[in-house]
Structure 1
């Protein structure tokens, strides 16, 4: 989300799914301990009690989430500071909170050192954000992700020809276009296979 290269015919649209799908055990080993420490999210699958469950690439482990506004508000509060401030700004606009009142609210909740959040519980504002209908909250978060990713990825794309040179950039772009075409062909074949299965 937010990477302009994904909108061009230069990136395989299944790139992220391919990376995750082909490295699922490694991603599980990386993220499972983090998920187990979250206060409102956990694995809800009896197979996850096995010590080596994360290494099973065929296991489709389910997660459950406590949807209470208090627990979800705590998760909003624990978002990375820069990302969280962008999300707060989105909701300041949405709720039409006057700037002075908004500044006071942020100042009251600003108790972070450079490395950690001292107040880990969300207050009324975070709980209000967390109580948004899921589709609306998802849309706002996607908007913040896009705006966060957009500038660095755009500037990186523009730096390519300058730092790598025209010939190397041209070869790189040709390789990317080829991967894009391969991805489209794989998607077309998968779609045909699914249609064929439905007919059978």
Structure 2
């Protein structure tokens, strides 16, 4: 989300899926400790409690989540600091919170040091954000897009400028070809599912 290259016909539309599928056990190993540390997330499939489940591609790793605003507010509080601040600013606008009241909310949220949280539990503002069940996912997606967009755009432009016109053209042509091949595979899979 947010990477402009994914909206151009130069990237395989199945790129992310291909990466995750090829490295599924590694992704599960990476993210499982984070998931099991969150008190309101649980694997739906009891087989995920077995020690070797991460290597099983057939394991159903779907999660269930408590929708209790207090529990979800704790998750909002545990977001990375810069990302969380961007989310707060989006909700300042969405909830129409005046500047002075919002400054007080931000000041209350600044009880962490450089190495850790001193308060890992969400307060009233985080709980109010978490209670926005219908809108929270859209706001989070918007914050992800805005976080990813600038670095990925500048990286793309740097690549084009530093590679020179000939290398850049050859690179773009190869990417375009792979994109079309990936799109054809995706279209074929969709047609087969419909049949």
Q: Considering only aligned residues, what root-mean-square deviation do their CA atoms show, in Å?
A: 1.1
Partner of 2:129: 129
Task: Please show how residues 34-45 of structure 1 align to structure 2 within 5 Å.
Answer: 34-45=34-45
Q: Please give the alpha-carbon distance, in whole angstroms, between the structure 2 residues aligned to 1:62 and 1:86.
A: 28
| CA shift digits 1:98-121 (9 cap, x unpaired) | 111111111122111112221111
Q: Does 1:172 align with 2:175?
A: no
- Aligned equivalent of 1:191: 190
Shift of residue 166, structure 1, vs aligned partner: 1.8
**Which of 144-153 and 169-178 deviates more?**
169-178
Distance 2:50 2:17 in 1: 26
Alignment of 1:1-40 (within 5 A): 1-40=1-40
In structure 2, the residue corresponding to 1:58 is in which secondary structure? coil
What does residue 155 of structure 1 align with? 154
| 1:92 CA displacement | 0.3
What displacement does 1:179 show?
1.1
Q: 2:86 matched to which residue of 1?
A: 86
How much does 1:148 deviate?
A: 0.6
Q: Distance in 2 between matches of 1:113 and 1:85?
A: 15
Comparing 76-85 and 165-174, the one that deviates more? 165-174
Q: With structure 1 as the length reference, what TM-score do the two structures score?
A: 0.94
For structure 1, the residue ranges without an aligned partner over 5 or more in a row are none
Residue 4 of structure 2 contacts residue 153 of structure 2 at CA under 8 Å; is this kept in 1? yes
User: Which residue is 1:100 aligned to?
Assistant: 100
* 2:139 counterpart residue number: 140
Q: Which runs of 4+ in 1 moved over 3 A?
A: none
* CA-to-aligned-CA distance 1:77-136 (integer Å, 9 cap, x gap): 1100110000000000111111111111111221111122211110000000000033x1
Structure 2: how far apart are the matches of 1:49 and 1:8?
41
Distance 1:155 1:79 in 2: 25
**Partner Cα separation in structure 2 for residue 178 and residue 144 of structure 1:** 31
- TM-score, normalised to structure 2, is 0.96
**Cα displacement string for residues 7-42 of structure 1 (whole angstroms, at most 9, x for unaligned residues):** 110011111111111111111111112111111112
Provide the rounded CA distance (Å) in 2 between the counterparts of 1:16 and 1:149.
15
Using the alignment, how far apart are the partners of 1:137 and 1:187 within structure 2? Answer: 30
